[in-house]
Amino acid sequence: MTFSENSPSSKQERRLIVTGGAGFIGANFVHYWCAKYPNDRVIVLDALTYAGNRQTLALLDTHPNFRFVKGDICDRSLVDALIQEEAVDTIVHFAAESHVDRSILGPGAFVQTNVVGTFTLLEAFRQHWLAGDRPSHYRFHHVSTDEVYGSLGSDDPAFSETTPYAPNSPYSASKAGSDHLVRAYHHTYGMPTTMTNCSNNYGPYHFPEKLIPLMCINILLGKPLPVYGDGQNIRDWLYVKDHCSAIDAVLERGVIGETYNVGGNNEVKNIDLVHMLCELMNELAPKLPVRPAQELITFVKDRPGHDRRYAINSTKLQNELGWTPSVTVQEGLRQTVEWYLENEAWWRPLLSEEYQAYYSKVYA
Ligand code: NAD
Ligand code: DAU
């Protein structure tokens, strides 16, 4: 796929650490950023957990301003050394344990990476910012989720930036903890932070445990399509490239200390989404083990504590920073299905023994 080719900013070159840049959204962001701002220095710091994939960034290895560092965001001495050695002025923080089902099986890693890891980065960046006498162009951008706001009823208004926090899973609770730390570092120390809380992303390089890639891959393999509960849960789908452009807008024009919600304006019931994916696969895949793919749909036991509905009001980002999502869910899903059809070499190796063991635990 191609990434944004808009003209580079006229601003002074930045020096970014992108944490979690080998994961789904982080990698899309790094490709986007390196294409749009080729003179910026981009250092990816990623522990390469099961969700991190070095291959996703392989095309950037010849890019003169790109560097990959394998390491843990909880490792303070590594983070300190990297920030100083690279004279970093911007951190874009994606690294996290991100999957709700895994947080139900084992919450400890979520608290460690999402809370302790975010704290470690904030502390390291604060020392660096103070040592430089608080440069005004420094930024710590924290990438968070709509899940911190809890679950909506069918008639509730969409989440806004002032919706009270009510996280329901160990994942969303750990993200809420990280958000509170970011807020406190701005409020207490004046740190130049910004934050985005966004809805469900989808697109290329999405790890197969999440709904959309899981369904695409299972259709191609002729495996059951496990729909939790009654399939009536609603998510607000955001194409990942639109999320990248939203973060770009916040880094360029966002107000320090502010939070911006990012959403695709695409509320869809899970069961309807699965039907849309089946239709696209029926149309686009030359060979399917089971056709029509809808025959594979299987209702399975619900996720414990499953949030019913998410919806994001992104009026603030649209009105104040001029951002709008560019891709409808119909276009985005078509592009995504085409991507999974064309990139079996990317996803096939991810169906590892570890993945099969995880899959058996969740879907047994
Ligand atoms: P992901 O699971 O695909 O990727 C996470 C990346 O972080 C991986 O590359 C992993 O190796 C890395 N990582 C994990 N622990 C680390 C550690 N201790 N040190 C360094 N690197 C570590 O996640 P994603 O879906 O790309 O999500 C990125 C961010 O966006 C997360 O903060 C997530 O909470 C947030 N978010 C995601 C979505 C979504 O729909 N995927 C929506 C809203 C917000
Ligand atoms: O809302 C933002 C969040 O979106 C992010 O913060 C998370 O990191 C990201 O993983 C995602 O969380 P969800 O739990 O909403 O995404 P997931 O893809 O796991 O599930 C989407 C919906 O589909 C949800 O209602 C559960 C359902 N589902 C999921 C899977 C994996 C199924 O019905 N069957 C499945 O097999």
Which atom from ligand 1 is nearest to the alpha carbon of 53?
A: 9
Question: Does the pLDDT of residue 5 top 70, yes or no?
Answer: no
Q: What's the pLDDT band for 51 if we cut at 50, 70, 90?
A: very high
Q: Residue of the nearest CA to atom 30 in ligand 2?
A: 211
For residue 47, the model assigns a pLDDT of 99
pLDDT average, residue stretch 15-33: 99
Which ligand approaches the C-alpha of residue 72 most closely?
1
Q: Residue of the nearest CA to atom 43 in ligand 1?
A: 145
Question: Does the pLDDT of residue 339 top 80, yes or no?
Answer: yes
Give the pairing type, strands 238-239 and 201-202: parallel
pLDDT digits (tens, 9 = 90+) for 196-248: 999 999 999 999 999 999 999 999 999 999 999 999 999 999 999 999 999 99
- Written as six digits, the tokens of 289 are 């083990």
pLDDT digits (tens, 9 = 90+) for 32-49: 999 999 999 999 999 999
Which atom from ligand 1 is nearest to the alpha carbon of 93?
A: 32
pLDDT digits (tens, 9 = 90+) for 83-98: 999 999 999 999 999 9
CA of 292 to the centre of ligand 1 (A): 34
- Written as six digits, the tokens of 57 are 């960034």
Question: Does the pLDDT of residue 4 top 90, yes or no?
Answer: no
Which atom from ligand 1 is nearest to the alpha carbon of 25?
A: 26
Q: What's the pLDDT band for 12 if we cut at 50, 70, 90?
A: confident
Residue 147 appears among annotated catalytic residues: yes
Q: Give the list of residues 6+ apart from residue 358 with CB closer than 8 angstroms, or none.
A: 102, 105, 209
Whether 157 contacts 217, CB under 8 Å? no
pLDDT average, residue stretch 292-311: 98
Which atom from ligand 1 is nearest to the alpha carbon of 21?
A: 9
Set 89, 97, 147, 236: catalytic member:
147
Q: Residue of the nearest CA to atom 29 in ligand 1?
A: 94
Residue 106: C-alpha distances to residues 52, 326, 358 (Å): 18, 36, 11
pLDDT average, residue stretch 272-287: 97
pLDDT average, residue stretch 258-287: 97
Question: Does the pLDDT of residue 64 top 80, yes or no?
Answer: yes
Of the candidate ranges 142-146, 262-266, 348-352, the one whose mean pLDDT is the lowest: 262-266
Q: What's the pLDDT band for 364 if we cut at 50, 70, 90?
A: confident
Whether 245 contacts 324, CB under 8 Å? no
pLDDT average, residue stretch 49-63: 98
261 within ligand 2 shell (Cβ under 6 A):
no
Q: What's the pLDDT band for 6 if we cut at 50, 70, 90?
A: very low
- Residue 193's SS3 state is strand
Q: Give CA–CA dist 64/72, Å, rounded.
A: 24
Helix (H) or strand (E) holding 242: helix 240-253
Percent above pLDDT 90 for the chain: 96
Residue 61 appears among annotated catalytic residues: no
239 within ligand 2 shell (Cβ under 6 A):
no
CA 334 from chain centre, in angstroms, equals: 20
**What class has domain 15-207+237-265+310-328?**
alpha beta
Set 171, 185, 260, 310: catalytic member:
171
Q: Which residues of 171-196 are buried (b: 16+ CB within 10 A; e: fewer)?
A: bbbbbbbbbebbeebbeeeebbbbbb
Radius of gyration of the chain (CA): 20
Match 């299972």 to its residue by tokens. 218
- Compute the half-sphere exposure of residue 178: CA atoms within 13 Å on the CB side of its CA: 35
Question: Best mutation site among 211, 299, 310 for ligand 2, i.e. most ligand atoms within 8 A of its Cβ?
Answer: 211
143 within ligand 2 shell (Cβ under 6 A):
no
Question: Does the pLDDT of residue 11 top 90, yes or no?
Answer: no
> Whole-model pTM?
0.97
Which atom from ligand 2 is nearest to the alpha carbon of 233?
A: 25
Ligand 1 neighbours (beta carbon < 6 A): 19-20, 22-26, 46-49, 51-52, 72-74, 94-98, 113, 117, 143, 145, 175, 198, 200-201, 207
Q: Give CA–CA dist 101/245, Å, rounded.
A: 28
Query: Would you kindly state where each structural domain of the chain is located, as residue ranges?
Result: 15-207+237-265+310-328
CA of 95 to the centre of ligand 1 (A): 4
Set 46, 72, 146, 248: catalytic member:
146
pLDDT digits (tens, 9 = 90+) for 124-160: 999 999 999 999 999 999 999 999 999 999 999 999 9
